[in-house]
Amino acid sequence: MSHRPKDTRPSAHKQQRRARGFALIAVFLLIVLLGAAGALATLVNAQQGRAPLAGDGGPGTVLDRIAPREPEEPEDPRAADLALDPGKKTEWKFDGTGKKTVYLTFDDGPSDNTPRVLEVLDRYGIKATFFVTGHEPDKAPYIKDAYDKGHSIGLHSMTHNYDQIYVSEEAFFSDLEAVGNMVKEQIGYVPYLTRFPGGASNTISANYCAGIMTSLVEDVQARGYQFYDWNVSSADASGTNVAVDTLVQSSCVEGYTNVMLLFHDSSTKDTTPDALPQIIEYYQERGYAFEPVTREAFVCHHDVNN
Ligand SMILES: [Zn+2]
């Protein structure tokens, strides 16, 4: 009998099964590889800070979206209230505000004493008003210092020379315009608030021009300014370095709901900042608030005598 050697080759069925096995493994490996590649791509995108989104505009797009905007001019909300604006309608409070309020006002500065006055106001956390002059041009930056601390800046006079400013209305407004421009250089605008040298009640002006105050009190308001006289004086103008006790006694009064208190900011008035703490505490103990002059403030007018 013939011996048929044992067929060691796999049968056709076995070959087909093995081929299917290899194909399955290959597909499986392909899936694993694709998955790994996808995960890698996601990781790389994540490290670049970019979501793997379709239609992503490429590097820089996201950075452009979050780039800071152009710096804008810093806004000054007080300028809208305090700037000279002849078209603006204001309900002036000639009869007072009805609230116990002290308006500390400092004329004739800036001076060497301005930083001392500012230090006391800072210490008590209160705001005041400075009616400034052009006496000491090198101290003009104190005007900006005071304004930046929240105090109001008003116009007093560029020269403060009675024989110059009260000669005529034209001369007066020329001087007022000069001090307005000086203040504008410091705070960015011309303020509406003014105080006449000597007050609206002064009689010195009669030596230079009869009736000029009668005209000026009307005309400064017609031009959009408002002027502020005072109803209490510290008496610091009565001499050089008036005694602190005298300043305190003059400044601390009873019977006023709104106190418009006159001080001077001058290198010859060293005792004025010395007296301030006692004066501030007197009114604080009696429930008064301290406010800078604004369009909401009491408007104090003297009777005109010329
Ligand atoms: Zn003055």
What confidence tens digit (pLDDT) does each residue in 8-52 have? 454 555 556 666 666 666 656 666 566 665 555 554 444 444 443
Provide the 10 A C-beta neighbour count for residue 233: 18
Centroid of ligand 1 to alpha carbon of 256 (angstroms)? 24
Centroid of ligand 1 to alpha carbon of 298 (angstroms)? 20
| pLDDT of 238 over the 90 cut | yes
Q: Are 104 and 290 in contact (CB under 8 A)?
A: yes
Centroid of ligand 1 to alpha carbon of 231 (angstroms)? 15
What confidence tens digit (pLDDT) does each residue in 149-181 have? 999 999 999 999 999 999 999 999 999 999 999
Number of residues written out for the chain: 306
> How far is Cα 244 from Cα 212, in angstroms, rounded to an integer?
36
| pLDDT mean over 138-148 | 98
Q: Are 154 and 194 in contact (CB under 8 A)?
A: yes
* Residue 227: both structure tokens together: 């002027």
Centroid of ligand 1 to alpha carbon of 104 (angstroms)? 15
Centroid of ligand 1 to alpha carbon of 196 (angstroms)? 8
Centroid of ligand 1 to alpha carbon of 222 (angstroms)? 23
| pLDDT of 5 over the 80 cut | no
Q: Are 85 and 224 in contact (CB under 8 A)?
A: yes
Contacts of 263 (CB under 8 A, 6+ apart): 104, 105, 106, 107, 117, 234, 236, 269, 272
Centroid of ligand 1 to alpha carbon of 43 (angstroms)? 74
Please report the pLDDT score of residue 110 as a whole number: 98
Centroid of ligand 1 to alpha carbon of 297 (angstroms)? 21
pLDDT band at 252 (very low <50, low <70, confident <90, very high): very high
Residue 150: which of 200, 82, 90 has the closest Cα? Answer: 82
> How far is Cα 280 from Cα 102, in angstroms, rounded to an integer?
9
Please report the pLDDT score of residue 170 as a whole number: 98
Q: What is the DSSP letter of 261?
A: E
Percent of the chain scoring above 70 in pLDDT: 76
Centroid of ligand 1 to alpha carbon of 284 (angstroms)? 27
Centroid of ligand 1 to alpha carbon of 194 (angstroms)? 11
| pLDDT of 129 over the 70 cut | yes
Centroid of ligand 1 to alpha carbon of 20 (angstroms)? 108
| pLDDT mean over 46-71 | 49
Centroid of ligand 1 to alpha carbon of 132 (angstroms)? 8
Please report the pLDDT score of residue 17 as a whole number: 62
Domain boundaries, given as residue ranges, for the chain: 19-45, 95-290
Q: What is the pTM of this model?
A: 0.77
What confidence tens digit (pLDDT) does each residue in 175-230 have? 999 999 999 999 999 999 999 999 999 999 999 999 999 999 999 999 999 999 99
Fold for the domain defined by 95-290: TIM Barrel (3.20.20)
Centroid of ligand 1 to alpha carbon of 278 (angstroms)? 24
> How far is Cα 203 from Cα 205, in angstroms, rounded to an integer?
5
Please report the pLDDT score of residue 46 as a whole number: 47
CA-angle at 38, arms to 35 and 44, nearest 5°:
140
Centroid of ligand 1 to alpha carbon of 107 (angstroms)? 5
Centroid of ligand 1 to alpha carbon of 18 (angstroms)? 111
Average pLDDT over the chain, rounded to whole? 87
Task: Report which of residues 304 and 63 the model is more confident about.
Answer: 304
Q: Are 214 and 182 in contact (CB under 8 A)?
A: no
Centroid of ligand 1 to alpha carbon of 237 (angstroms)? 9
What confidence tens digit (pLDDT) does each residue in 66-107 have? 656 665 666 899 999 999 999 999 999 999 999 999 999 999
Q: Are 118 and 145 in contact (CB under 8 A)?
A: yes
CA-angle at 131, arms to 128 and 136, nearest 5°:
120
Provide the 10 A C-beta neighbour count for residue 33: 10
Please report the pLDDT score of residue 95 as a whole number: 97
